Amino acid sequence: MIDLRFDRVSKRYLIPHEAENHGSSHPWMRKLRSLWRTPREFWAVREVSFEVKRGEALGIIGHNGAGKSTILKLLASITAPSAGEITINGRAAALIEVGSGFHPELTGRENVYLSGSILGMPRNEIGQKIESIIDFAEIREFIDIPVKRYSSGMYVRLGFAIAAHLEPEILLLDEVLAVGDMAFQRKCLDRVRALRQAGRTIVFISHDLNAVEALCDRVLLMQRGEVIADGPPGEVIGQYKALATKGTTSPFSGIGAVREWRDLDVRGDRVVRLRRVRVCGEDGATMSAVDIRHPVGIEITYDVLEGGHVLVPTVHFFNEARLHVFGVLDLEPEWQGRPKSAGRYVSTAWIPGNFLAEGCMIVDTDVATLAPFEAHAYEKDVVTVRVFDPMSVDSARGEYTGPFPGVVRPLVRWNTYVSCDGSRT
């Protein structure tokens, strides 16, 4: 049985022309003109067709602006399609934001009724479930004070407790699992799994590929408003990663795997000039996406203009949260205490496999004299390294596929021995 059907659905947004400043005309005239000029069109979703069977969990992934959220808004009836037809069989509830419809002046209890009604729960059903909701949110002692006095954690817990008690036949989820701490996220996932086991249909939109993979039977990959892949999670997520490594989704957008400087754009001082920095694999090929299990090199090419200095190339790694994860100095014995004469040099720092965490790292480089310290060519945000885990069991993850926090992810040696044989006691 088909629960959801998209039949050649398109959604067009009209972007009104800004009241542009043409010459010296009066601002009112410009506003009037912008009213009758045809607005610019933007097709967020183009002729998308798909079906979701009853009990199926469908994930939708794609870059920001690919049309994922628009699909969810169309499914949730928040906005109407511009063309095509959507068929929904069953009571659908969209969870686009936890705590939708809370009013700060009302107490927690009153807000349960308010938010519950807005999310489509009948009043008598709320009455039956309110005790369970309060327990689930773990805020019994605060339930009769206005939610404006709640901590953000209590607010989110109450919001989710209401959502968890909805019993939609079709659940539409948008990135809600991304709020709250780890324990809360796990609680959310558990609830969604319970719904799945009860045979409810789920549409889940997320950037968290691990969650999508863990939860969904099928995944759609969207790009520029069109579905470009539809299939089992592993396959489609692999395609998405291949797409992502083309560098279009980097949070450090515009910074790639290679950076070169021409003569007109010199970096450095009278001693050192930077020529090129790139990210490379073991085979020496430039690469922006690195398998977490393989070593990655940061190669710095630089000209020494003034000979006689002991120069130490340096590389610093920062993660997406701008945390300085670590820095490395070239301390190889070959060049220890040995001044470099004028000429071109290529130094590569090798970061071992199974050491960096998944995600995007940005690299600063320098060529410095250490004692007394002098930075000759410090350059910020030079290249980015994107580390991905192919989820084959030989990385530091083993068979675990869930969220894996931490700024580095070394694969370390473990040692376990039987200290007391249970059969003897």
Q: Spell out, one character per residue from 199 to 218, where the chain touches other proteins: x when CB under 8 A holds, - when not.
A: xx------------------
Member of 43, 50, 113, 355 binding other proteins (CB under 8 A): 113
**How many residues lie near other proteins (CB under 8 A)?**
58
Q: Residue type at 352?
A: P
For residue 295, whether the previous peptide bond is cis, meaning omega lies within 30 degrees of 0, is no
Three-class secondary structure of residue 40 per DSSP:
strand
- CA dist., res. 8 & res. 45, Å (int): 10
Q: Checking DSSP bridges between strand 296-304 and strand 359-369, what pairing results, if any?
A: unpaired
Measured from the CB atom, is 165 or 340 closer to other proteins?
Answer: 165
Q: Residue type at 5?
A: R
Tell me the closest approach of the beta carbon of residue 190 to other proteins, in angstroms.
Answer: 7
Measured from the CB atom, is 109 or 241 closer to other proteins?
Answer: 109
Q: Residue type at 246?
A: K
- CA dist., res. 71 & res. 119, Å (int): 19
Torsion sign across C-alpha atoms 298, 303, 304, 306: negative
Measured from the CB atom, is 80 or 264 closer to other proteins?
Answer: 80
Q: Which residue has the tokens 């079709």?
A: 170
* Helical spans, DSSP H, in 106-221: 108-118, 123-137, 152-165, 182-197, 209-215
Member of 1, 331, 371, 418 binding other proteins (CB under 8 A): 1
Of 156-185, which residues contact other proteins (CB under 8 A)? 164-165, 167, 169, 183
Measured from the CB atom, is 195 or 216 closer to other proteins?
Answer: 195
The gap between the terminal CA atoms of the chain, to the nearest Å, is 57
Of 278-317, which residues contact other proteins (CB under 8 A)? none
Task: Tell me if 132 contacts other proteins by CB under 8 A.
Answer: yes
Task: Tell me if 118 contacts other proteins by CB under 8 A.
Answer: yes
Task: Tell me if 150 contacts other proteins by CB under 8 A.
Answer: no
The residue range among 21-29, 82-90, 217-225, 394-402 that interacts with other proteins, by the rule CB under 8 A, is 82-90
Of 21-80, which residues contact other proteins (CB under 8 A)? 54-55, 73-74, 76-80
Of the candidates 262, 265, 270, 273, the one whose C-alpha atom is nearest the C-alpha of residue 377 is 273
- CA dist., res. 61 & res. 80, Å (int): 21
Cα–chain center distance at 244: 11
Residues contributing to the site for other proteins (CB under 8 A): 1, 13-14, 54-55, 73-74, 76-91, 94, 96-97, 100-101, 103, 105-106, 110, 113-114, 117-120, 122-123, 132, 135-136, 164-165, 167, 169, 183, 186-187, 190-191, 194-195, 197-200
